[in-house]
Amino acid sequence: MTRPKTKILVDGGDPQETRRIQELLGFVDGQTTNPSLIAKNPHIKELITSGHKLSNREEMDEYKKIVQTISPLVGDAGVSIEVFSDEKTTAQEMFSQGQEMFSWIPNAYIKYPCTAEGLRAAQNSVKQGMRVNMTLCFSQQQAAAVYAATKGTKEPAYVSPFVGRLDDIGQNGMDVVKNIKRMFSKGDGHVLVLAASIRSLEHLLYCFALQTELATVPAKTLELWASKNFPTPDNQFQYKAPGKSIPYEELDLEQPWERFDIQHELTRKGIEKFAADYRATLSRIAEREERKTKAPQTQMGTSGFPRPSLSSGRRRQLPADDPGAII
């Protein structure tokens, strides 16, 4: 197999699956996880099926165990770990979760959503030397905001445009990948494009053709690629777009991130889906008890998602004069 220039990450939450793909391909460059994928982890599903729903602390601990098992199986693209959030979660709450999660493994990337609060959390994370992956990106404007918010990062940040979900609403999701790549070619290279929501072999091959820096791919698509003897696109390759073209926008990457239009309905729906999948694994009684007692290991934020305790060694409160501070 001729190894593609595009780094390949496994999109999943099962270490056994990662190990199987590593053996199949001979390598795995990285892994992406999210609350929905963690909820599908066989061990988590077994717990839920047996009637044991998790407390917030147990959920965090299980997530930690999963990514610690995956971490040594992958290459230098790292393991992306997503904070638990909904539309009410503040930047401070995301940032606090991100600090705890970043301490779990040496190759962590913290995933924040492409929202105003997520961008504030990312802005402060990169100041602390944390690696970030901005997820649920559906537009060139959101990617431009990520570029602006992550300036000064010590290591390249990732932005993850979701291809398949744009296809689902009748648009050509790969256009967003292509447009962001074109826009970033005028920049300083501190943000890499990580194509996500890859649904087909054609999506993957077009990522190769565009020389997208990274692509996160479900195991079944990687297995299909392997079954066809690892094809790569040649000069005759043509991608058959399933939907309406998304035009390129001329954007000034030197603007502050707040100047860009970051609103997108699919980002909102994606956050709702992840939040619902996360809550489905939780015991309602455990949630109520943790809100009442504010257990020192993990306190609940105002949104009902876990917030590390003040004793956490990596936690830093945003100062009032910090542009990302919540006042």
For the stretch 285-296, pLDDT in tens is: 344 444 554 444
Q: Which of 232, 193, 231, 189 is nearest to 215 (CA)?
A: 193
Q: Is residue 323 domain-resident? A: no
218 alpha carbon, distance to own chain's centre: 14
**What are the tens digits of pLDDT across the range 96-112?**
999 999 999 999 999 99
- Distance (Å) of CA 197 to CA 23, 50, 75, 88, 236: 23, 31, 21, 25, 25
Q: Is residue 203 domain-resident? A: yes
Count of domains observed in the chain: 1
* Statement: residue 310 has pLDDT above 50: no
CATH classification of the domain holding 64 = 3.20.20.70
For 23, list phi and psi in degrees, rounded to 5.
-70, -35
The pLDDT confidence band at residue 283, using thresholds 50, 70 and 90, is: low
Q: Is residue 2 domain-resident? A: no
User: How many CB atoms neighbour CB 230 within 10 A?
Assistant: 14
* Residue in the block written with tokens 């100041």: 127
Q: State yes or no: is 154 an active-site residue.
A: no
Determine the pLDDT at residue 301.
54
Q: Is residue 299 domain-resident? A: yes
Maximal C-alpha separation, the chain? 63
* Statement: residue 164 has pLDDT above 70: yes
Q: Which of 7, 53, 111, 178 is catalytic?
A: 111
Determine the pLDDT at residue 319.
37
The fraction of the chain above a pLDDT of 90, given in percent, is 72
**What are the tens digits of pLDDT across the range 33-63?**
987 777 777 877 787 777 777 777 878 888 8
Range of the domain at 204: 7-308
The pLDDT confidence band at residue 176, using thresholds 50, 70 and 90, is: very high
* Statement: residue 269 has pLDDT above 70: yes
**What are the tens digits of pLDDT across the range 116-137?**
999 999 999 999 999 999 999 9
Average pLDDT, the chain: 87
Q: Is residue 326 domain-resident? A: no
Determine the pLDDT at residue 115.
98
Q: Is residue 317 domain-resident? A: no
Q: For residues 48-85, b (16+ Cβ closer than 10 Å) or e, as one string?
A: eeeeebbbbebbbebbbebbeebbebbeebbbbbbbbb
Which amino acid, residue 236? Q
Q: Is residue 194 domain-resident? A: yes
Q: Is residue 264 domain-resident? A: yes
Which has more confidence, 287 or 240?
Answer: 240
**pTM score, two decimals?**
0.85
Most confident region among 47-61, 195-209, 266-280 by mean pLDDT:
195-209
